[in-house]
Amino acid sequence: MAPEDFIVLYAEDNEHDIIATKRSWKRHGVELGLRITRDGAECLDYLYRRGAYAPPADAPSPSLVLLDLHMPKVGGLEVLKTIREDPKHKHLPVVVMTSSSMDRDRIESYELGVNAYVIKPLVYEKFAEAIASILEFWKMVEPASGEAKT
């Protein structure tokens, strides 16, 4: 699979987690397209090709969204709700990657239709393994029927 065939949109405001993710990508030889947005509003701009992401070439359709919950401007739960309410994106796989172990965050995420809820490991080695496992799983999953790539 070519990197442009599997795009991961990572919505994350923590620079350390972004660096850890990039290191994990490299460590595990992952050659997928990684796009990073640093808050929920930017994530939605990417998905809806607004502002800086208006040219389609600057915002290829993601195959998977990794979504932090606690971000500035628009929180992850609101981003998830927006994705699931939109017929164009409702089948887009979304994995919440968060430091929150609060039951209400987990429950609300699943009620809003998240595909998986992962608590970020604090140790880099475990974090890297979690990222690699998520990517390997989603590369093997068939998209929902009717889902179109744009």
The model's confidence at residue 2, banded by pLDDT at 50, 70 and 90, is very low
- Name the percent of the chain lying above pLDDT 70: 87
Cα 132–chain centre separation: 13
Q: What DSSP designation does 69 have?
A: S
Under DSSP, the state recorded for 50 is -
Which among 49, 55, 28 has a CA at the least distance from the CA of 139?
Answer: 28
Confidence of residue 145 (pLDDT cuts 50, 70, 90): very low
Q: Please determine, for residue 149, whether its predicted confidence score (pLDDT) is greater than 70.
A: no
Nearest to 37 by CA among 11, 14, 57: 11
Count other Cβ atoms within 10 Å, centred on residue 140: 7
Structural contact between residues 135 and 8, judged by C-beta atoms closer than 8 angstroms: yes
**Six token digits for residue 9:** 């949109």
User: Is the pLDDT reported for residue 15 higher than 50?
Assistant: yes
Q: What is the pLDDT of residues 18-43, one digit of tens each?
A: 888 888 777 766 666 889 999 999 99
Q: Name all domains of the chain by residue range, CATH numbers in brackets.
A: 3-140 (3.40.50.2300)
Question: How many Å separate Cα 39 from the centre of its chain?
Answer: 12
Window from 4-13, 24-33, 77-86, 131-140 with minimum mean pLDDT? 24-33
